Structure 1
Amino acid sequence: MCNDYRLEVDIASIAEDFDNLKIKIKMPEGTPNVPAREDINITDVAPIVRAVDGQRGVGELVNRRWSWPDRGKPVYNFRADGRSFGPNRALILTDGYYEFTDPQPGEKRKTKWLFTLKDHDWFCIAGIWRAHPEVGEAFTMLTLEPSQDIARYHKRQIVTLPRDRWAAWLDPSVPAEEVLQVPPEGSLAATQVYPPQAASL
Protein backbone atom coordinates (compact mmCIF):
# COMPACT_ATOMS: atom_id res chain seq x y z
CA MET A 1 0.00 0.00 0.00
CA CYS A 2 1.09 3.62 -0.21
CA ASN A 3 4.14 4.18 1.98
CA ASP A 4 5.60 7.22 0.23
CA TYR A 5 4.13 10.49 -1.04
CA ARG A 6 5.23 13.92 -2.23
CA LEU A 7 4.57 17.54 -1.32
CA GLU A 8 6.41 20.26 -3.19
CA VAL A 9 3.79 23.02 -2.93
CA ASP A 10 4.54 26.06 -0.75
CA ILE A 11 2.42 26.84 2.29
CA ALA A 12 1.22 30.17 0.87
CA SER A 13 -0.38 28.45 -2.11
CA ILE A 14 -1.99 25.88 0.16
CA ALA A 15 -3.49 28.55 2.42
CA GLU A 16 -4.72 30.54 -0.59
CA ASP A 17 -6.52 27.54 -2.08
CA PHE A 18 -8.32 26.83 1.20
CA ASP A 19 -9.29 30.50 1.45
CA ASN A 20 -10.72 30.41 -2.08
CA LEU A 21 -12.91 27.49 -1.00
CA LYS A 22 -14.15 29.46 2.03
CA ILE A 23 -12.47 26.99 4.40
CA LYS A 24 -10.97 28.85 7.33
CA ILE A 25 -7.57 27.50 8.30
CA LYS A 26 -6.23 28.03 11.81
CA MET A 27 -2.57 27.58 12.67
CA PRO A 28 -2.63 26.93 16.44
CA GLU A 29 1.07 26.12 16.50
CA GLY A 30 2.11 28.98 14.22
CA THR A 31 2.94 28.67 10.54
CA PRO A 32 4.30 25.13 10.17
CA ASN A 33 7.62 24.47 8.53
CA VAL A 34 6.65 22.79 5.26
CA PRO A 35 9.77 22.26 3.13
CA ALA A 36 9.33 20.87 -0.37
CA ARG A 37 9.83 17.12 -0.21
CA GLU A 38 9.94 14.61 -3.02
CA ASP A 39 9.51 11.73 -0.58
CA ILE A 40 7.54 11.67 2.67
CA ASN A 41 7.90 8.28 4.29
CA ILE A 42 6.28 6.37 7.14
CA THR A 43 7.07 7.95 10.57
CA ASP A 44 8.02 11.28 8.95
CA VAL A 45 6.34 14.44 10.23
CA ALA A 46 4.21 16.17 7.61
CA PRO A 47 1.40 18.76 7.41
CA ILE A 48 -2.27 17.87 7.72
CA VAL A 49 -5.44 19.92 8.04
CA ARG A 50 -7.64 18.39 10.70
CA ALA A 51 -11.24 19.06 11.63
CA VAL A 52 -11.92 21.43 14.52
CA ASP A 53 -14.48 19.84 16.82
CA GLY A 54 -17.85 21.55 16.53
CA GLN A 55 -16.81 24.06 13.88
CA ARG A 56 -17.94 23.59 10.30
CA GLY A 57 -15.79 25.00 7.53
CA VAL A 58 -12.78 25.32 9.84
CA GLY A 59 -9.57 23.32 9.92
CA GLU A 60 -6.27 23.36 11.79
CA LEU A 61 -3.01 23.18 9.88
CA VAL A 62 -0.51 21.21 11.97
CA ASN A 63 2.55 19.00 11.50
CA ARG A 64 2.07 15.43 12.67
CA ARG A 65 3.71 12.02 12.36
CA TRP A 66 2.59 9.68 9.60
CA SER A 67 1.57 6.38 11.26
CA TRP A 68 1.18 5.15 14.80
CA PRO A 69 2.45 1.77 16.04
CA ASP A 70 0.13 -1.18 16.67
CA ARG A 71 1.46 -4.60 17.67
CA GLY A 72 4.91 -3.63 16.49
CA LYS A 73 3.80 -2.46 13.03
CA PRO A 74 3.08 1.06 11.73
CA VAL A 75 -0.54 1.90 10.89
CA TYR A 76 0.01 4.06 7.83
CA ASN A 77 -3.03 2.92 5.82
CA PHE A 78 -6.50 2.19 7.22
CA ARG A 79 -9.45 0.51 5.50
CA ALA A 80 -12.41 2.86 5.14
CA ASP A 81 -14.89 0.35 3.70
CA GLY A 82 -18.14 0.38 5.64
CA ARG A 83 -16.77 2.53 8.44
CA SER A 84 -18.03 5.81 9.83
CA PHE A 85 -15.58 8.35 11.18
CA GLY A 86 -16.13 10.96 13.87
CA PRO A 87 -14.34 14.24 14.47
CA ASN A 88 -10.79 12.90 14.04
CA ARG A 89 -10.82 13.49 10.30
CA ALA A 90 -7.84 14.93 8.46
CA LEU A 91 -6.82 16.15 5.03
CA ILE A 92 -3.32 15.00 4.10
CA LEU A 93 -1.69 17.54 1.80
CA THR A 94 0.06 16.19 -1.29
CA ASP A 95 0.75 16.78 -4.95
CA GLY A 96 1.35 13.12 -5.71
CA TYR A 97 1.70 9.71 -4.11
CA TYR A 98 3.66 6.61 -5.03
CA GLU A 99 2.84 2.97 -5.57
CA PHE A 100 5.25 0.15 -6.35
CA THR A 101 4.98 -2.85 -8.67
CA ASP A 102 7.24 -5.83 -9.34
CA PRO A 103 10.74 -5.11 -10.67
CA GLN A 104 11.09 -4.86 -14.42
CA PRO A 105 13.33 -7.36 -16.23
CA GLY A 106 16.95 -6.77 -15.30
CA GLU A 107 16.05 -4.62 -12.28
CA LYS A 108 16.36 -5.54 -8.60
CA ARG A 109 14.31 -2.65 -7.23
CA LYS A 110 10.55 -2.42 -7.60
CA THR A 111 9.07 -0.17 -10.25
CA LYS A 112 8.00 3.15 -8.71
CA TRP A 113 4.95 5.06 -10.00
CA LEU A 114 3.83 8.59 -9.17
CA PHE A 115 0.07 9.24 -9.16
CA THR A 116 -1.29 12.75 -9.56
CA LEU A 117 -4.86 14.05 -9.70
CA LYS A 118 -5.74 15.61 -13.03
CA ASP A 119 -6.69 19.31 -13.01
CA HIS A 120 -5.16 19.73 -9.52
CA ASP A 121 -1.75 21.25 -8.83
CA TRP A 122 -2.08 19.57 -5.46
CA PHE A 123 -4.84 17.69 -3.67
CA CYS A 124 -5.72 15.99 -0.40
CA ILE A 125 -5.77 12.39 0.74
CA ALA A 126 -8.52 11.47 3.21
CA GLY A 127 -7.11 10.54 6.57
CA ILE A 128 -7.78 10.25 10.27
CA TRP A 129 -5.59 11.11 13.24
CA ARG A 130 -5.36 9.97 16.83
CA ALA A 131 -3.30 10.45 19.96
CA HIS A 132 -0.99 7.55 20.76
CA PRO A 133 0.69 7.06 24.15
CA GLU A 134 4.07 6.29 22.56
CA VAL A 135 4.36 8.70 19.64
CA GLY A 136 1.82 11.45 20.38
CA GLU A 137 -0.63 12.58 17.71
CA ALA A 138 -0.28 10.81 14.37
CA PHE A 139 -2.25 10.33 11.15
CA THR A 140 -2.97 7.56 8.68
CA MET A 141 -4.35 7.40 5.11
CA LEU A 142 -7.71 5.84 4.27
CA THR A 143 -8.10 3.24 1.53
CA LEU A 144 -10.89 1.69 -0.55
CA GLU A 145 -11.22 -0.93 -3.26
CA PRO A 146 -9.32 0.30 -6.33
CA SER A 147 -10.72 2.12 -9.32
CA GLN A 148 -9.75 1.16 -12.87
CA ASP A 149 -6.93 3.72 -12.70
CA ILE A 150 -5.26 1.87 -9.82
CA ALA A 151 -6.35 -1.78 -10.14
CA ARG A 152 -3.46 -2.75 -12.41
CA TYR A 153 -0.97 -1.33 -9.89
CA HIS A 154 -2.43 -2.29 -6.52
CA LYS A 155 -5.33 -4.11 -4.87
CA ARG A 156 -6.22 -1.12 -2.65
CA GLN A 157 -6.50 2.60 -3.37
CA ILE A 158 -5.68 5.69 -1.36
CA VAL A 159 -8.78 7.93 -1.12
CA THR A 160 -7.93 11.08 -3.06
CA LEU A 161 -10.25 14.03 -2.48
CA PRO A 162 -10.81 16.72 -5.11
CA ARG A 163 -11.34 20.28 -3.89
CA ASP A 164 -15.13 20.06 -3.80
CA ARG A 165 -14.97 17.37 -1.06
CA TRP A 166 -12.48 18.96 1.35
CA ALA A 167 -15.03 20.91 3.38
CA ALA A 168 -17.34 17.90 3.63
CA TRP A 169 -14.57 15.66 4.99
CA LEU A 170 -13.75 18.25 7.66
CA ASP A 171 -17.41 18.22 8.74
CA PRO A 172 -18.09 15.13 10.90
CA SER A 173 -21.83 15.60 10.44
CA VAL A 174 -21.43 14.56 6.78
CA PRO A 175 -21.57 10.75 6.51
CA ALA A 176 -18.24 9.26 5.51
CA GLU A 177 -19.73 7.23 2.65
CA GLU A 178 -20.87 10.45 0.96
CA VAL A 179 -17.28 11.71 0.83
CA LEU A 180 -15.08 8.64 0.61
CA GLN A 181 -15.36 7.52 -2.98
CA VAL A 182 -12.72 6.68 -5.55
CA PRO A 183 -12.51 9.21 -8.39
CA PRO A 184 -13.95 8.40 -11.82
CA GLU A 185 -11.79 6.47 -14.26
CA GLY A 186 -9.26 8.75 -15.94
CA SER A 187 -8.90 11.06 -12.92
CA LEU A 188 -5.48 9.80 -11.84
CA ALA A 189 -2.38 9.97 -14.01
CA ALA A 190 0.48 7.51 -13.48
CA THR A 191 4.10 8.41 -14.27
CA GLN A 192 6.93 5.91 -14.02
CA VAL A 193 9.58 7.30 -11.68
CA TYR A 194 11.91 4.29 -11.40
CA PRO A 195 13.51 2.96 -13.41
CA PRO A 196 13.63 6.27 -15.27
CA GLN A 197 12.23 6.08 -18.74
CA ALA A 198 14.46 7.11 -21.61
CA ALA A 199 13.63 10.53 -23.00
CA SER A 200 11.99 10.44 -26.42
CA LEU A 201 13.96 11.90 -29.31
Structure 2
Amino acid sequence: MCGRYASARKKYELLEEFQVAVDGAPEEELRPDYNVAPTKKVYAVLTRPLKDAENAEPVRQLRILRWGLVPSWAKDPSVGSRMINARVETVAEKPSFRRAFERRRCLLPADGYYEWYAGEDAGQAGGGGRAAKRKQPYYIHPADGSVMAMAGLYEFWRDRTRPDDDPEAWRVTCTVITTSAQDELGRIHDRMPMIIARERWADWLDPGLTAAEEARRLLVPAGPGLLAHHPVSTDVNNVRNNGPELIEPLAV
Protein backbone atom coordinates (compact mmCIF):
# COMPACT_ATOMS: atom_id res chain seq x y z
CA MET A 1 0.00 0.00 0.00
CA CYS A 2 0.94 3.66 -0.05
CA GLY A 3 0.07 5.23 3.30
CA ARG A 4 2.51 8.15 3.53
CA TYR A 5 4.35 10.28 1.01
CA ALA A 6 6.27 13.51 0.61
CA SER A 7 5.10 16.46 -1.49
CA ALA A 8 7.22 19.51 -0.92
CA ARG A 9 7.32 21.36 -4.25
CA LYS A 10 5.92 24.86 -4.56
CA LYS A 11 2.68 25.38 -6.40
CA TYR A 12 4.35 27.33 -9.20
CA GLU A 13 6.75 24.42 -9.76
CA LEU A 14 3.85 22.01 -10.18
CA LEU A 15 1.96 24.38 -12.47
CA GLU A 16 5.00 24.49 -14.73
CA GLU A 17 6.03 20.84 -14.42
CA PHE A 18 2.59 19.52 -15.35
CA GLN A 19 1.86 22.27 -17.89
CA VAL A 20 -1.30 23.23 -16.04
CA ALA A 21 -3.58 25.71 -17.76
CA VAL A 22 -5.63 26.76 -14.70
CA ASP A 23 -4.80 27.06 -11.02
CA GLY A 24 -7.93 25.56 -9.52
CA ALA A 25 -7.17 26.93 -6.04
CA PRO A 26 -5.62 30.35 -6.67
CA GLU A 27 -6.17 31.58 -3.12
CA GLU A 28 -4.68 28.56 -1.38
CA GLU A 29 -1.21 27.05 -1.37
CA LEU A 30 -0.22 23.98 0.58
CA ARG A 31 2.89 24.06 2.73
CA PRO A 32 5.71 21.64 1.89
CA ASP A 33 4.66 18.35 3.45
CA TYR A 34 7.20 15.62 4.14
CA ASN A 35 4.67 13.42 5.92
CA VAL A 36 1.48 13.40 3.87
CA ALA A 37 -1.04 11.16 5.61
CA PRO A 38 -4.62 10.07 4.82
CA THR A 39 -7.33 12.77 5.07
CA LYS A 40 -4.78 15.54 4.49
CA LYS A 41 -5.15 18.04 1.68
CA VAL A 42 -3.01 17.22 -1.35
CA TYR A 43 -2.33 18.60 -4.80
CA ALA A 44 -3.88 16.81 -7.77
CA VAL A 45 -3.63 17.41 -11.51
CA LEU A 46 -6.82 16.69 -13.43
CA THR A 47 -8.52 17.59 -16.68
CA ARG A 48 -12.19 18.63 -16.69
CA PRO A 49 -14.38 21.58 -17.72
CA LEU A 50 -14.15 24.63 -15.50
CA LYS A 51 -17.04 25.18 -13.11
CA ASP A 52 -19.59 27.71 -14.45
CA ALA A 53 -17.46 28.33 -17.55
CA GLU A 54 -19.16 29.09 -20.86
CA ASN A 55 -16.62 26.92 -22.64
CA ALA A 56 -17.26 23.29 -21.71
CA GLU A 57 -13.95 22.07 -23.09
CA PRO A 58 -11.86 20.12 -20.55
CA VAL A 59 -8.93 22.07 -19.10
CA ARG A 60 -5.89 20.77 -17.22
CA GLN A 61 -6.09 22.08 -13.66
CA LEU A 62 -4.18 21.92 -10.41
CA ARG A 63 -6.66 21.31 -7.60
CA ILE A 64 -6.48 20.70 -3.86
CA LEU A 65 -8.27 17.52 -2.78
CA ARG A 66 -8.43 15.35 0.33
CA TRP A 67 -6.65 12.01 0.36
CA GLY A 68 -9.11 9.18 0.96
CA LEU A 69 -11.77 8.69 -1.69
CA VAL A 70 -15.42 9.05 -0.67
CA PRO A 71 -17.75 7.46 -3.27
CA SER A 72 -20.63 9.65 -4.39
CA TRP A 73 -23.12 7.17 -2.91
CA ALA A 74 -21.47 6.94 0.51
CA LYS A 75 -23.67 7.83 3.48
CA ASP A 76 -20.74 8.88 5.67
CA PRO A 77 -17.53 10.61 4.43
CA SER A 78 -15.52 8.81 7.10
CA VAL A 79 -15.21 5.85 4.71
CA GLY A 80 -12.57 7.88 2.89
CA SER A 81 -9.97 7.05 5.53
CA ARG A 82 -10.21 3.41 4.41
CA MET A 83 -10.00 4.18 0.69
CA ILE A 84 -6.61 5.80 0.36
CA ASN A 85 -5.48 3.12 -2.12
CA ALA A 86 -7.10 1.32 -5.05
CA ARG A 87 -5.47 -1.90 -6.26
CA VAL A 88 -4.76 -1.88 -9.99
CA GLU A 89 -5.89 -5.49 -10.22
CA THR A 90 -9.48 -4.63 -9.19
CA VAL A 91 -9.85 -0.86 -9.65
CA ALA A 92 -11.94 -1.18 -12.83
CA GLU A 93 -14.46 -3.52 -11.17
CA LYS A 94 -14.85 -2.38 -7.56
CA PRO A 95 -18.01 -0.28 -7.05
CA SER A 96 -16.09 2.28 -4.98
CA PHE A 97 -13.68 3.07 -7.82
CA ARG A 98 -15.25 1.85 -11.09
CA ARG A 99 -16.96 5.08 -12.17
CA ALA A 100 -14.00 7.24 -11.19
CA PHE A 101 -11.64 4.96 -13.12
CA GLU A 102 -13.73 5.52 -16.24
CA ARG A 103 -14.04 9.31 -16.02
CA ARG A 104 -12.21 10.89 -13.10
CA ARG A 105 -8.54 10.02 -13.26
CA CYS A 106 -5.86 12.32 -11.89
CA LEU A 107 -2.15 12.59 -11.14
CA LEU A 108 -0.95 13.06 -7.58
CA PRO A 109 2.46 14.79 -7.55
CA ALA A 110 4.97 13.47 -5.02
CA ASP A 111 8.68 13.70 -4.33
CA GLY A 112 8.68 10.16 -2.95
CA TYR A 113 6.82 7.81 -0.65
CA TYR A 114 7.46 5.76 2.48
CA GLU A 115 7.17 2.05 3.09
CA TRP A 116 7.98 0.00 6.17
CA TYR A 117 10.15 -3.11 6.04
CA ALA A 118 9.26 -5.70 8.67
CA GLY A 119 12.74 -7.11 9.22
CA GLU A 120 14.55 -8.54 12.23
CA ASP A 121 16.11 -5.90 14.43
CA ALA A 122 19.76 -6.55 15.18
CA GLY A 123 19.44 -4.61 18.42
CA GLN A 124 18.67 -5.84 21.89
CA ALA A 125 16.81 -9.10 22.32
CA GLY A 126 13.29 -9.02 23.62
CA GLY A 127 11.70 -11.18 26.26
CA GLY A 128 12.64 -14.85 26.09
CA GLY A 129 15.84 -14.09 24.20
CA ARG A 130 14.10 -13.62 20.86
CA ALA A 131 15.21 -10.79 18.62
CA ALA A 132 12.86 -7.84 18.83
CA LYS A 133 11.04 -7.11 15.61
CA ARG A 134 10.51 -3.62 14.31
CA LYS A 135 9.45 -2.00 11.06
CA GLN A 136 12.13 0.11 9.41
CA PRO A 137 10.79 2.98 7.28
CA TYR A 138 12.30 3.53 3.84
CA TYR A 139 12.00 6.57 1.60
CA ILE A 140 11.51 5.63 -2.05
CA HIS A 141 11.89 8.28 -4.73
CA PRO A 142 12.80 8.87 -8.40
CA ALA A 143 16.51 8.21 -8.79
CA ASP A 144 16.96 11.32 -10.95
CA GLY A 145 15.18 13.64 -8.50
CA SER A 146 12.25 14.29 -10.82
CA VAL A 147 8.66 14.62 -9.70
CA MET A 148 6.72 11.40 -9.27
CA ALA A 149 3.26 11.38 -10.86
CA MET A 150 1.21 8.81 -8.95
CA ALA A 151 -1.87 7.47 -10.71
CA GLY A 152 -4.96 8.59 -8.86
CA LEU A 153 -8.74 8.82 -9.02
CA TYR A 154 -10.96 11.58 -7.69
CA GLU A 155 -14.60 11.74 -6.72
CA PHE A 156 -17.25 14.27 -5.64
CA TRP A 157 -19.40 13.73 -2.55
CA ARG A 158 -22.39 15.91 -1.66
CA ASP A 159 -23.01 16.67 1.99
CA ARG A 160 -26.81 16.73 2.09
CA THR A 161 -26.82 18.39 5.51
CA ARG A 162 -25.49 21.62 3.99
CA PRO A 163 -27.28 24.11 1.73
CA ASP A 164 -26.30 24.43 -1.93
CA ASP A 165 -24.51 27.75 -1.41
CA ASP A 166 -22.31 26.38 1.38
CA PRO A 167 -18.69 26.09 0.12
CA GLU A 168 -18.39 22.89 2.16
CA ALA A 169 -21.42 21.29 0.48
CA TRP A 170 -19.16 19.36 -1.87
CA ARG A 171 -16.16 17.29 -0.83
CA VAL A 172 -13.62 16.31 -3.49
CA THR A 173 -11.43 13.36 -2.53
CA CYS A 174 -8.83 11.12 -4.13
CA THR A 175 -7.10 7.76 -3.93
CA VAL A 176 -3.73 6.38 -5.07
CA ILE A 177 -3.68 3.39 -7.41
CA THR A 178 -1.17 0.75 -6.29
CA THR A 179 0.53 -2.16 -8.01
CA SER A 180 2.80 -5.01 -6.99
CA ALA A 181 6.41 -4.07 -6.21
CA GLN A 182 9.22 -6.02 -7.83
CA ASP A 183 12.93 -6.59 -7.29
CA GLU A 184 14.50 -4.68 -4.38
CA LEU A 185 11.38 -2.60 -3.72
CA GLY A 186 9.39 -5.80 -3.35
CA ARG A 187 11.73 -6.85 -0.56
CA ILE A 188 10.77 -3.73 1.40
CA HIS A 189 7.03 -4.00 0.73
CA ASP A 190 4.95 -5.96 -1.76
CA ARG A 191 2.95 -2.93 -2.97
CA MET A 192 3.88 0.45 -4.44
CA PRO A 193 2.14 3.42 -6.08
CA MET A 194 1.47 3.13 -9.80
CA ILE A 195 3.53 5.83 -11.49
CA ILE A 196 2.41 7.34 -14.79
CA ALA A 197 5.22 8.10 -17.25
CA ARG A 198 5.29 11.64 -18.60
CA GLU A 199 4.43 10.56 -22.14
CA ARG A 200 1.18 9.03 -20.82
CA TRP A 201 0.03 11.98 -18.71
CA ALA A 202 -2.30 13.48 -21.30
CA ASP A 203 -3.97 10.17 -22.13
CA TRP A 204 -4.42 9.26 -18.46
CA LEU A 205 -6.02 12.62 -17.69
CA ASP A 206 -8.26 12.63 -20.78
CA PRO A 207 -11.90 12.46 -19.52
CA GLY A 208 -12.90 11.41 -23.03
CA LEU A 209 -11.12 8.09 -22.52
CA THR A 210 -13.87 6.09 -20.84
CA ALA A 211 -13.04 2.53 -21.91
CA ALA A 212 -11.68 0.74 -18.85
CA GLU A 213 -9.42 -1.56 -20.85
CA GLU A 214 -7.82 1.37 -22.68
CA ALA A 215 -7.23 3.19 -19.41
CA ARG A 216 -5.80 0.05 -17.86
CA ARG A 217 -3.23 -0.22 -20.66
CA LEU A 218 -1.77 3.11 -19.51
CA LEU A 219 -0.88 1.60 -16.14
CA VAL A 220 2.65 0.27 -16.54
CA PRO A 221 4.73 -0.27 -13.36
CA ALA A 222 8.01 1.65 -13.03
CA GLY A 223 10.91 -0.24 -14.57
CA PRO A 224 14.11 -1.29 -12.78
CA GLY A 225 16.44 1.51 -11.75
CA LEU A 226 13.90 4.33 -11.97
CA LEU A 227 13.40 4.49 -8.20
CA ALA A 228 16.00 4.70 -5.44
CA HIS A 229 15.50 3.99 -1.76
CA HIS A 230 17.19 4.42 1.61
CA PRO A 231 16.25 3.86 5.26
CA VAL A 232 15.05 6.90 7.21
CA SER A 233 14.35 7.77 10.83
CA THR A 234 11.36 6.27 12.61
CA ASP A 235 10.34 9.86 13.32
CA VAL A 236 8.20 9.55 10.17
CA ASN A 237 5.98 7.11 12.08
CA ASN A 238 4.42 10.05 13.90
CA VAL A 239 2.38 12.19 11.52
CA ARG A 240 3.01 15.22 13.73
CA ASN A 241 6.66 15.15 12.67
CA ASN A 242 7.18 17.03 9.44
CA GLY A 243 10.29 18.44 7.81
CA PRO A 244 13.02 17.69 5.27
CA GLU A 245 14.97 15.71 7.88
CA LEU A 246 12.39 12.91 7.48
CA ILE A 247 13.68 12.00 4.02
CA GLU A 248 17.37 12.14 4.94
CA PRO A 249 19.24 8.79 4.84
CA LEU A 250 19.49 7.14 8.22
CA ALA A 251 22.98 7.41 9.69
CA VAL A 252 24.52 3.96 10.06
Q: Same fold (TM over 0.5)?
A: yes
| CA–CA separation in structure 2 for the residues paired with 1:123 and 1:72 | 23
CA contact (8 A) 2:153 2:175 kept: yes
Match of 1:62 in 2: 63
Paired residue for 1:122? 147
Aligned residue number for residue 152 of structure 1 = 187
CA distance in 2, matches of 1:125, 1:31: 25
Counterpart-to-counterpart distance in 2, 1:73 and 1:123: 23
Aligned AA for 1:197?
L
The offset of 1:60, in angstroms, is 1.7
**CA 1:33–1:109: 2 relative to 1, 3 Å:** farther
Letter in 1 for 2:222: P
Counterpart-to-counterpart distance in 2, 1:188 and 1:157:
11
Task: Report the counterpart of residue 242 of structure 2 in structure 1.
Answer: none
* 1:44-193 alignment, distance < 5 Å: 44-52=40-48, 55=57, 58-68=59-69, 74-81=82-89, 83-84=91-92, 85-102=101-118, 104-106=121-123, 110-133=135-158, 136-172=171-207, 173=209, 175-193=214-232
CA RMSD of aligned residues (A): 2.6
Q: Which amino acid aligns with 1:114?
A: Y
Report matched runs for 1:12-51 at 5 Å.
12-19=12-19, 24-51=20-47
Structure 1 contact 123–163 (Cα < 8 Å) conserved: no
TM-score with structure 1 setting the length: 0.83
- Note the C-alpha offset of 1:198: 2.4
- Bigger share in strand: 1
| 1:113/1:130 CA distance change after superposition, 3 Å | same
The alignment status of 1:197 with 2:250, answered yes or no, reads yes
Distance 1:112 1:184 in 2: 22
Q: Measure the CA separation in 1 of the matches of 2:202 and 2:134.
A: 39
Deviations 1:120-172 (A, max 9, x none): 42121000011234682110000122232421122222101232222221114
Partner Cα separation in structure 2 for residue 198 and residue 83 of structure 1: 39
Per-residue CA deviations over 1:43-88 (Å, capped at 9, x if unaligned) read: 11111112215756x3221111100357685200001226542221
Instruction: Confirm or deny: 8 A CA contact 1:4 1:40 kept in the other structure.
Output: yes
Identity %: 26
Equivalent residue letter for 1:15: L
Structure 1 CA distance for aligned equivalents of residues 158 and 145 of structure 2? 36
Unaligned ranges ≥5, structure 2:
50-55, 70-76, 93-100, 124-131, 160-169, 235-248
Please, what TM-score do these two structures have when normalized by structure 2?
0.68
Bigger Cα Rg: 2
Contact residue 76 and residue 140 of structure 1 kept, 8 A: yes
Distance in 2, matches of 1:60 and 1:152, equals: 36
Superposition deviation, residue 9 in structure 1: 1.2
- TM-aligned CA distance change 1:144 to 1:55, over 3 Å: farther
